[in-house]
Structure 1
């Protein structure tokens, strides 16, 4: 009788572990988005780089996974006249702008997404 109870408990633990692993594969895991589906990528309507006269590079702190970089990229791409590409490895976002860059606005956009801008560098 005791062996049957132990086998049932082990079986339940295996089922729970399988469920948790499947959930982590589907929704991601780690620092953020553990219980949320991956955000869909926001695509910029104007994809002609010639229309963007300005470019800045943002150094961003706090991004640890692809969900983080997607969240920052989406926050920037939702703004009119901005086109951003975020590189998780270097912790930088390259932002193309149609208007002269406003450092305070860029910092606010990234902070609203939950991250911190460490520096803003104009790019040639």
Structure 2
């Protein structure tokens, strides 16, 4: 009987460990959506060598945001960049960005990815 209990405890520990690892792509808030991860990530990378000039208006498509904490983190990261003003739309999984200085795609990508999300496309308006 004790062996069965030990086996069940080990199985439970493994299941929780796997769930925690899968949650790594989200914001870490623990909401049920973040725990499921993002299954719709596009593999169409943006050219990281592109530099967008001042006065550009962009839409950044971002995967992995599932709650207000997610979008707030991305918003803070983008707005912390010199010359960037961003408004993140959680429902649309994107950010509207206006530039007052030249900014590269790599800088935008790094800001988003450092928060644990994926920048899949940059559209110039």
Tell me what 1:45 maps to. none
| Structure 1 residue 101 displacement after superposition | 3.7
RMSD in angstroms over aligned alpha carbons?
A: 1.7
Contact persistence 1:56–1:101 (CA under 8 A): no
Tell me what 2:68 maps to. 66
Q: Flag structure 1 segments of 5+ consecutive residues without an equivalent.
A: 1-27, 33-51
Q: Distance in 2 between matches of 1:114 and 1:56?
A: 21
Tell me what 1:23 maps to. none
Q: Distance in 2 between matches of 1:99 and 1:78?
A: 13
Q: TM-score, normalised by structure 2?
A: 0.57
- Structure scoring higher RCO (CA < 8 A, sep ≥ 6) equals 2
Contact persistence 1:54–1:97 (CA under 8 A): yes
Contact persistence 2:83–2:102 (CA under 8 A): no
Q: TM-score, normalised by structure 1?
A: 0.57
Q: Distance in 1 between matches of 2:111 and 2:68?
A: 18
Tell me what 1:119 maps to. 121
SS of aligned partner of 2:107: helix
Higher Rg: 1
| Structure 1 residue 122 displacement after superposition | 0.5
